Amino acid sequence: MKIGILGLGLIGGSLGFDLRSQGNHVLGVSRRESTCKKAIDLGIVDQASVELSLLAAADIVFICTPIGLIIPQVEQLIAYLPATTIVTDVGSVKTPIVAGISPLWNNFIGGHPMAGNTDAGIEAAQRNLFVNRPYVLTPVATTPTDAISVLEEIVRSLGSIIYHCQPEKHDRAVSWISHLPVIVSASLMAACLSETDPEIFQLAQNLASSGFCDTSRVGAGNPELGVMMAQYNRQALINSLHQYRQNLDEFIDLVSQEKWLLLEDKLKLNQQNRPKFLE
């Protein structure tokens, strides 16, 4: 099969490694010549170009650009494609992407591989990145079942666990487990930075340990990524934030009113339920 990859970063590059090693002919497009060269040198792609026209020969194209570029790039790309080409993306938010592309391209299926690490760029690409990781597909009522089958077979070949859902349900689910934690964690770090007593502020830094390290991690990550997830999943994030605030207020009330048994009950519920969210 001829597989196109538009955007040769961590995800695009890792896809190339795995799909090529399975015997597919992989065509890669990047905005930069140097990335094209690296992709060929590393064995990520068979052919690479800065021109979208290279992808005209592909049976299926994975759009692996930053989320803000997905729709504009697809708008340009489809001028080169026969109507039979399947197009899919790997963006971490699905509602606006699916709403923007579905009217333009019938053979489009939104996708989201839940894989990655803190590094970015083609140098961070690795083999078997998607093994045993969730991979969400968000076809809509009009998506051709043949196209879904082709994409599913490829995703299965990566070793991923496939989930199907509506774009809106995907976005609400990831707002809980991925986007809300960023703001929760960011607010923690920001609150600590507001301490005005220099002795206490210094002491807090000296005493901070694994608990603080873990809870503050995702709120102090890449600022551009944080803004992007808030922009693209804004409504689901706002809903989650309001729900969070309500729960926070309940905890504040329990502590203020010294309702220790109720506090213990709520903490017990957390302790019992967290394992469901872990692998």
Tell which positions 199-218 bind a second copy, by CB under 8 A: 199-200, 203-209, 211-218
Residue of 66, 134, 144, 159 interacting with a second copy (CB under 8 A): 134
- The reply on whether position 189 binds a second copy by CB under 8 A is yes
What is the footprint of a second copy within residues 10-39 (CB under 8 A)? none
Closest CA to 156 of 113, 212, 217: 113
- The reply on whether position 188 binds a second copy by CB under 8 A is yes
Residue located via tokens 């009009």: 142
- The reply on whether position 141 binds a second copy by CB under 8 A is no
- The reply on whether position 221 binds a second copy by CB under 8 A is yes
Question: Residue 131 or residue 267: which is nearer to a second copy going by CB?
Answer: 267
Phi, psi of 59 (to 5 degrees): -80, -30
Closest distance of CB 275 from a second copy, Å: 9
- The reply on whether position 223 binds a second copy by CB under 8 A is yes
Residue of 15, 20, 169, 232 interacting with a second copy (CB under 8 A): 169
User: CA angle, corner 128, sides to 63 and 94, nearest 5?
Assistant: 35
- The reply on whether position 183 binds a second copy by CB under 8 A is yes
Binding mask 96-115 for a second copy (x = CB under 8 A): ------------------x-
- The reply on whether position 226 binds a second copy by CB under 8 A is yes
Question: Residue 50 or residue 200: which is nearer to a second copy going by CB?
Answer: 200
Choices 14-22, 61-69, 137-145, 232-240; region in contact with a second copy by CB under 8 A: 232-240
Count Cβ atoms below 10 Å from residue 194 Cβ, excluding itself: 7
CB 53 within 8 A of CB 71: no
Q: End-to-end distance of the chain based on CA atoms, in angstroms?
A: 33
- The reply on whether position 181 binds a second copy by CB under 8 A is yes
Question: Residue 18 or residue 171: which is nearer to a second copy going by CB?
Answer: 171
Closest distance of CB 47 from a second copy, Å: 33
Q: For residues 153 and 158, what is the distance between their CA atoms, to the nearest angstrom?
A: 9
What is the footprint of a second copy within residues 145-164 (CB under 8 A)? 161, 163
Closest distance of CB 95 from a second copy, Å: 13
Q: For residues 189 and 225, what is the distance between their CA atoms, to the nearest angstrom?
A: 17
Question: Residue 104 or residue 227: which is nearer to a second copy going by CB?
Answer: 227
Binding mask 235-274 for a second copy (x = CB under 8 A): --xx-xxxxxxxxxxxxx--xx-x-x--xx-xxxxxx-xx
Closest distance of CB 135 from a second copy, Å: 10
